[in-house]
Structure 1
Amino acid sequence: MPAVSAESVRPKRILVYGDSNTFGWIYDPKVGVTRLPVEKTWVRVMADKLGAGYEVEVNALGGRTICRDQRTGIGTGSRIPGPLFNGMTSLPAVLSENLPLDLVIVMLGTNDAKAAFKTTADQLADDLGRMTELIRGDGWGGNTPYPSPKVLLIAPIYQPDDTAYGEFFKGADA
């Protein structure tokens, strides 16, 4: 009987890299911004549906962009410096700390569409293309034997001008 390596029987590993929509922040006009119970976030629902043959890791930060530095941290009294919201900045470390990976799901772009950034849909697509190249490229995995993961991009959610965030996302729907 041939030997079976641990690698051939390991669960498929998925990393979900996103912003507040992935984290589970929701807005309720009665109480403000709160977090969904973790088991109700789309990532955990997906993980439950996938079952035992999959491991799903989540790295989600409210306010994260694809590649833009925030001028300041998000929220009153934020202790996170604005540049740390740039998804390209932390991505290599996040990829490395979650090896091995079979798939990286990226759900970013909503915050890049804020009025302050004046980002076009073409720019968002180009930015996500560069992020995909980074994920698929070599270098961040060090000297590991693991191949580059596949990438699944989830488009930013529709953000109408009349959301609870007021002028924050004005023009994002375009």
Structure 2
Amino acid sequence: MELTVAVIGAPVGLKGYVRLDVRTDSLRERFAPGNQLNTNPAKHGPLTVQGLRKQGGSIICAFKEITDRTAAQALTGVELLAPALSELAEDEFYPYELEGLLVKDLAGNELGTVNRLVFGSGHDYLEVTTPEGEDVLVPFVKALVPEVDLEKEEVVMDPPGGLFPGHGTALEAR
């Protein structure tokens, strides 16, 4: 199984360097010089990591196959893929496993569908699209998301009052 470890952003300079929108906690391991990464779409890869550096708040990467700005610009938006490193613990999930799961409250009422996992600095968030089409960000913490059942393809939430109108308990009651 391959996971998205980064998405290629804008080119940097004239020699084919690119910014990365990183989606992995194992940056140095995934982007060690000489590592090959598959791409989505596949026609752009595989790409061989030549070097990696930080520049300001950005991660900049050089690939052996990309030698000029024009080639780098053609890769904007391309996903970089790598095999999963290890099995996850029972309460850990890959983002792709959560996308599309049905979201219910503790009483079994449907709240929406998980659209995506949003990475945060303190904790991550589940972006839930309600049946009315609104997107709601829910902190992905045990107190609010006590259960994720991949076999049933559902997430059980205990949202605070006001997060999903008509569902959840008020903060004062917690």
Q: What is the TM-score of this pair, normalised by structure 2?
A: 0.20
Which one has a bigger Cα radius of gyration?
2
More strand by share: 2
